[in-house]
Structure 1
């Protein structure tokens, strides 16, 4: 199994490729022109897939609704045949929703959230109209995705989903621009709490893919389920709320991956996070930090030639990173 973190700048796009031809994608990054213009190392997820000759996806998983996770998927699903789509929300009321527009004074974060919400609704409608499969994931499920790869759904909390869906129903029913804008702001602020938290297990590697689901939301997860995690995709792009001693200090971590843009906007890829992870690290081998969009991050990382993706492979029992340059 090869697990690839595509350099989509600030965002998540994680590709799984099995030796049997299996392919899956967890999120698809964003689709903002300014994220990619003038940067020769960042690459849209759809372009990366096409350059790698991927013409079919068995599974696509959407972790939650934010621009940097959802908006890159729309073109992927249009161009690349996909067998199954997995989401964390019940299909109604999204599948019958109208496009939304926030008021002119809405902050940029709300505008971007609205782009993602509208894109998500279009994705669902297109698949439902074409009769393609959509599966709603719930905490506690275990998916045997393919031979040698299992996904265990650890989150989100059912209460977080219920709270979020109540706001979704309200925003699509409202006729008031002011109320729509207010509700979109609340949805943007709480969408991270509804992120899928997934543990992927294959021979020699146990990846916790946290999207933006931060440890303060993990209270319903049995603690033992974290005890074999040796690769962590940091939640929330490595912002301060990404780590907790309660959970990370029991993980036999070997590699921590941060999917953050090299400008470290929003205080992402925060150095305090890596200091804390090093302080709690219990393993015999050194802890290795990988960054999807960095070239130099002293003292944690150096790959000065740049790259479009980072792939993890298991070789002779060791997890080996490969930096992919197209």
Structure 2
């Protein structure tokens, strides 16, 4: 299995195996500012084209935020897919209309709103192209290939139900602009709590893709589900809330991947996180990998730059490759 994490702050993970199976987990950002000024940053659709990928067996949308959803729209306009998996009931979005927050909304709210509108447009694209959209919830396990399974460990039912209730209300006809903006603000603040936590297993190689699902909402995750995870895509871009000692110590981690811009905005790729992980695993050093760093001593060094990092997982173990 090949696990490729594309460049920059947003999440975009490409899963491939030697038999031709290809799936995408999230699609990164569509903001021009994310890709200007660095020759190695690349949009999801451009990377797929560079790899001559024109069809995906599956697309997973972990949750609704700009840096996870918005890059997928261009992907699905140019690349065919067999199925799209989402964490929300599809009926919530039937008849959904474009939304606009009031001008005085917090800075992140327009970005969230664009992601929500893009999510709805993606559902329309799926309908137009006959792509089935299926809802996954915690406890579900799906077979991707004969060798690869995906297990959904989160979100928790309580947070998901609260989020869905807000979505249902925001699409009601009689809602005021003030109420819609208030709900968009709450949806933005709670969307991470609805993020899918995906465990991808192929033999002894186990990836936990946490998207933005942080350990403080993993109370319903069976501890046994973590005890063979050797690759972790850190939650929430390596911000301070992305690790928990008890949860992390359950995992025999070898590699920890962080999707974070090199400016380390919002305290992402936070040094405290890697110091803690180093302290918690003194007997076996973890290899830290970053999607948008060249030098981050003492954790990482790749001065030549790269467009995507690849973890090649097979019976011989895990090898890291950097794609220019």
Shorter-chain-normalised TM-score: which range?
A: over 0.9
In 2, are the aligned partners of 1:196 and 1:211 still within 8 Å (CA)? Answer: yes
- What do the CA deviations read for 1:257-276 (whole angstroms, capped 9, x no partner)? 00001100000000000111
Deviation at 1:160, TM superposition (A): 1.3
Deviation at 1:202, TM superposition (A): 1.0
Aligned to 2:191: 191
In 2, are the aligned partners of 1:138 and 1:153 still within 8 Å (CA)? Answer: yes
- What do the CA deviations read for 1:90-121 (whole angstroms, capped 9, x no partner)? 01221320000000111220000000000001
In 1, are the aligned partners of 2:16 and 2:22 still within 8 Å (CA)? Answer: yes
Deviation at 1:316, TM superposition (A): 5.4
Deviation at 1:128, TM superposition (A): 2.2
What's the TM-score once normalised by structure 2's chain length?
0.97
C-alpha separation between the residues in 1 aligned to 2:185 and 2:132? 31
C-alpha separation between the residues in 1 aligned to 2:154 and 2:281? 24
C-alpha separation between the residues in 2 aligned to 1:316 and 1:81? 31
SS in 1 for 2:94: helix
1:219-238 matches, within 5 Å, as 219-238=219-238
Aligned to 1:271: 271
Deviation at 1:315, TM superposition (A): 5.3
In 2, are the aligned partners of 1:96 and 1:125 still within 8 Å (CA)? Answer: no
1:310-325 matches, within 5 Å, as 310-314=309-313, 317-325=316-324
1:166-315 matches, within 5 Å, as 166-173=165-172, 174-281=174-281, 284-314=283-313
In 2, are the aligned partners of 1:60 and 1:82 still within 8 Å (CA)? Answer: yes
What's the TM-score once normalised by structure 1's chain length?
0.97
In 2, are the aligned partners of 1:95 and 1:124 still within 8 Å (CA)? Answer: no
Specify every segment of 5 or more residues in structure 2 that has no aligned partner in the other structure, as ranges: none
Deviation at 1:169, TM superposition (A): 1.1
C-alpha separation between the residues in 1 aligned to 2:71 and 2:257? 20
